[in-house]
Structure 1
Amino acid sequence: MRSAEQSRDAASVWDIATPSRRGRLPGVSMAGFRARTTGLVDLGVVPYPAVTVAVDLGEGTLTVADADGRRRSGGVVVGLGSVGVRGRGRDIACLQVRLSPPVAHALLGACAEPGAAVVSLEDLWGRDAARVQERLRAAGSWEERFARAEAALVRRYEAGRAVEPEVAFVWGRMVASRGGVRVERLAAEVGWSRKRLWSRFRARIGLTPKRAAQLVRFDHAAHRLAAGHSAARVAAETGYADQSHLHREVMAFTGATPTAVGGAPWLAVDDVAWAAAAYLSDDGTRTAPA
C-alpha cells in the first residue's frame, strides 16, 4: 500500500486551508491552496465528479489548460469530468471550490453544457467575476475569503435556475451507489423514460447518465489506487468486470495507467483539503472515496 510518507511528500508542496464551519450551500466545498515553493508547479488534474472553480489569488500567474492547450487564468471553471486538464504556475495561491453538478447548474449555468472543459469564470459571471476575485484578494485571512466566496455563491444560487428534482435525485443515487446503478432502473425510479432521462440529465449535468456513472465509479477506484490497493483488488471491489476493464477506463479518463494514477500528486491532497467535504451530493451526503 502507499505509505503515509509518500502521501505526505506529494502533498507537502502545499499549505492547505479549509473552512472552520459547514457551509450554507449543500454540495459546495472549498479549500485554499498556497504553494510552499516559488518555483514552477505543473500538475495534471485527475478528472473528478464535480465542477471545479479556481480563483487565482497569488503573486504569480496560475494558468489552467485543457487537452487542446487552450489556457485560462484569473477565475477558471473546470467542467465535470474534464480530461487532460493541467494547472501550471509559480508562487501559486488560489481558492478552489468544488460544486455538485446540480448545484453548479444553478450557480454557473452554461458550464454544465456538454463540451465545457475549461472556461473563464468571467465568461459565465461577466464583470462580477473580477469583483469577486478582487474581494477575495483583499481579504485578510482564509476564513474571510471562504465567507466572501460563500456569500457570492449564495447570491448566484438564489438567482439561478435549479435543475429538475428528478435530475438531482438521479445524481444523488449515482453517488450513493458509486456509479453502480443502471440507467434503466434510475429512469423507472423517477417515472421517466430512459430517453427523457438521458436528454434532461445530459442537458443539465453536462454528461450522459452512463458517462456520469462511469466518472463516479472511476473516482472511487482512483482514490483506492491512491491509497495503495492493487489494481486487481480495486477492479474487483469497485464494479469493474476485470482488471483490464479498470485499465481501459482509467486510461480513458486520464491517459495514464492505474499505477500512475495511484501516485498522482493531485489525489494526495484530497484527504487534507476535502476530508470533511460533502463534495459529491447536492444534499450534503458524502461518500468516502476510499
Structure 2
Amino acid sequence: MNMSASGKIRIGIGGWTFEPWRGPFYPNGLTQKRELEYAASKLTAIEVNGTYYGSIKPDSFIKWREETSDDFVFALKAPRFATNRKVLAEAGGSIEKFIRGGMLELKQKLGPINWQFMATKKFDPDDFEAFLKLLPKTAEGVTLRHAVEVRHESFANPDFVALAQSYGVAIITAGDSEFPQIADPTAPFVYARIMGTKEDEPNGYSNAELDTWADRATSWAAGGTPADLRSFSLEPAKPVPRDVYLFVISGHKVSNPAAAMELIRRLG
C-alpha cells in the first residue's frame, strides 16, 4: 500500500529454497539458480533463515541484491550465537561480527533484523535492556531496523513493551502459534510472522482468515493496533503510519507462497 496515510506493507515467506515448492510454486523446468529471481517477482520480501545458523559470504548478499527488483527487501534472522546465551550483555562481539559480516552489501534491500530468542529465555528487564543497548541504530551510514522475537510468556507484559518502545525495537507478533502474541507497535515498523497455513486450504488459509490478516496489516500500516490481537501497553501507541513486514512461516509450508501471494492480491 502506498497511500499517504499508511506505511508500505510487504508480504513474504521464509527462504526460497525448498524442494516441495517446485511445481506448486516454482514452474516446472525452472532452474534452481533462478528461484530467487522468480520468488522476488511474486512476493515483496523474504526472511532469510540461513543467517541464524552460520555466516553468509558478502558475495552472496551482493548476488541476492542483484537478482531481485529494486523495491524488494530481505529480512535477516540474526545469528543464534547472539541470542542463545545466559548473559545477553556479553553478545556484543557476535552482534558486531554479524553486522560487519557482509549483510550491508544488501544496501537499500536490507530489511529488519530478527533477533530470535529460545522459548526457554525468560524476561529479565536488566538482562534484556543490556542486549538492546548493544544494537546499533546505524552501520556505515545504513539505518538498521531491529525486531525481537520472544517466545516465553513472561514477556507478555507492559514492562517489556515499554522497554522495547524506549529503544525503538519492534516486537515480532506471532500469529496462529503456541508462542505468546504481542501485537503492540513499538517501532516505526511492524514485523509479524504467521504460522497457521493448512494442507486442506488451497491458499493455506481460508478466505476469512486471509481477509483477517489483510485487515490487521492494513490497521498496523495506518498506525493502529488490531483490536483482535493481544496487546499489553498501558498507553496506546501513537497513531503514525508504519511499514509492515508480514511473513508466512511454518504451518503447511508447501502452501506458504500461495498464502503470501493471496495476501498481496487482497492488499492491492
Q: RCO greater where, 1 or 2, for CA within 8 Å and sep 6 or more?
A: 1
Bigger helix fraction: 1
TM-score of the alignment, normalized to the shorter chain, above 0.5 = no
Question: What TM-score, normalized to structure 2?
Answer: 0.32
Question: What TM-score, normalized to structure 1?
Answer: 0.30
